[in-house]
Amino acid sequence: MSAIQRTITTTTIQPLLHSTSLQEIPLFSCRIAAGFASPADDHLDNPIDLNKLMVPRPAATFMLKVEGDSMIGAGIHDGDLLIIDRSKTAVNGSVVIAVVHGELTVKRLQRDSRGIQLVPENPAFKPIHIHDESELVIWGCVTHAIHNL
């Protein structure tokens, strides 16, 4: 079995519980300009529920808090909350939560002719090269990063 195909069968991580309460937030139908200003549109679209938007599969979803800045180039900052979906298949280029030799990390999965690497998104850090004797377990794919401004 390849290192990418390995998965955790049992963990102590509990999935996010599906909330029975709906907290809808108004969504304006216009988009906001991040460059030059444009006239505002006062039309409201249907409200959105962040649970439905960010956690489509609650039984396969968990959250972790980030420590460090090795993924700053991917928009993942120290202190961010990550939403991880264990049901998504990790493919080349996925941002994954992985356990390498017993240590938890968040990195971009890269597979090429040289093999498998877990690549940081900060040039101050080096990639983790996965060898045949390496212990690698992919816990899931990061789907969202939540951080304060």
Active site residues: 70, 107
How far is it, in rounded angstroms, from Cα 61 to Cα 143?
10
Buried b (16+ CB within 10 A) or exposed e, 39-59: eeeeeeeeeeeebeebbeeee
How far is it, in rounded angstroms, from Cα 130 to Cα 91?
15
DSSP state of 29: S
Q: Which amino acid is it at 149? A: L
Bridge-partner residues for 83, per DSSP? 63, 144
How far is it, in rounded angstroms, from Cα 132 to Cα 126?
19
